[in-house]
Amino acid sequence: MGAMNQACLNPPIKWSLPAYLMGYAFLLLIPHLVLATEPPQLMIEAPHSLEPQAARLRNLNPSRFLPIMDLVGLDHPGPPIRVVLAPEQSAWAKQAPSWSSAYAMGELGMIVLLPERVLSYPYESLEQVLAHEVAHVLVARSTGGRAVPRWFDEGLAMIAAHSWTVEDRARLVWAMATEEPISLDEINARFRRDRASAQQAYVLAYAFVQDLIRQTSPRLAKNVLALVAQGLPFDEALTRLTSKTPRQLEVAFWDRQSIWTRWVPVATSSVMLWLVIVLLIFYVFRKQKKRTTAIKKQWEEEETGDP
């Protein structure tokens, strides 16, 4: 009788099929919910002259890099990333163009920062430069070292370290107002030229990748990189996930930009067009001048505080 009463008080749980499936799905999701909570660790090296800048970077909270891991689809950051702050006369600095502030060697898990160089677009701080280069290393790790096009790699790094601003929009409009639509191959080539060409390539890669993700899925980047890691060529991976070739995506991007810029006069002799161009040039020039002044002031303060 007591056993019967106990059974009545505690009837067996009956699971409906929908409830069972929901519970099973939640169990499958648990690993994905708890992973990617360990941020990448940085090993920062610097000579005494650059120790103030190195100290600033060591004080950064590594969790700021977790969104980058999510962007590229990494659950584990891998081994610590070596970050070298190199003076201008070093061998490291001589390996980079004179206008470059940093570079990454993804396959080696290494970043070289050149703090003595004046920052220019797309960077406004050394911290931003670091985040950009960390993104390059994490992209390389997400593909297992397999290559992706420069425009895609730089576009992701821009998204990881940079917020779309009025300056970015101004530079994009300037590119559209002064040239015909630029191919993805041409964007890749411009990264290897002079400062002005590289700056234009940065904004175009940023705009293209950002637009691509917006038009498809927030998970597009990580899904593309995962397919590349499995050995699928990048173009095939992108086509599989978007149902369009890179060339078709390129044309669609420029068509959308043309719609956005209908207010820009077509005729190159238009007074309004040249007024807009002059204003954009003035804005970008002022932005660069303010950035340079702020960096120099920061250097002076760091030198004053350095014993």
Q: Are the C-beta atoms of 116 and 148 separated by less than 8 Å? A: no
How far is it, in rounded angstroms, from Cα 226 to Cα 244? 18
Residue 17 lies in a domain: no
The phi, psi pair for 29, rounded to 5°, reads -80, -20
Structure token pair of residue 176: 């559209």
Residue 204 lies in a domain: yes
The phi, psi pair for 179, rounded to 5°, reads -140, 165
- The SS3 call for residue 42 is strand
Q: Is 212 exposed, middle or buried (0-12, 13-18, 19+ CB in 10 A)?
A: buried
How far is it, in rounded angstroms, from Cα 249 to Cα 212? 8
Q: Is 104 exposed, middle or buried (0-12, 13-18, 19+ CB in 10 A)?
A: buried
Give CA separation, 52 vs 10, 83, 267, 299, in Å. Answer: 67, 15, 52, 9
Whole-prediction pTM value?
0.75
Domain count within the chain: 1
Angle in degrees, 0-180, between the axes of helices 195-215 and 246-260, rounded to the nearest 10: 100
Planar angle of CA 252, 255, 258, nearest 5 degrees: 155
What is the per-residue pLDDT for 3? Answer: 44
Parent domain of 250: 37-300
What's at 199, amino acid-wise? Q
* DSSP assignment string, 102-163: EEEEGGGTEEEE-TTSPP-TT-SSHHHHHHHHHHHHHHHHHTTT----HHHHHHHHHHHH--
Residue 188's CATH number:
1.10.390
Residue 144 lies in a domain: yes
Q: How many CB atoms lie within 10 A of CB 94?
A: 10
Residue 13 lies in a domain: no
Residue 105 lies in a domain: yes
Q: Are the C-beta atoms of 96 and 126 separated by less than 8 Å? A: no
Residue 201 lies in a domain: yes
Structure token pair of residue 23: 């519970």
**pLDDT tens, N- to C-terminus, the chain (307 residues):** 444 444 444 444 454 554 444 454 444 443 444 445 799 999 999 999 999 999 999 999 999 999 999 999 999 999 999 999 999 999 999 999 999 999 999 999 999 999 999 888 888 899 999 999 999 999 999 999 999 999 999 999 999 997 777 778 788 878 777 778 899 999 999 999 999 999 999 999 999 999 999 999 999 999 999 999 999 999 999 999 999 999 999 999 998 876 554 444 444 445 455 556 666 666 666 666 666 666 556 656 665 655 5
Residue 205 lies in a domain: yes
Q: Which residue has the tokens 């005729």?
A: 267
Q: How many CB atoms lie within 10 A of CB 93?
A: 16
Residue 141 lies in a domain: yes
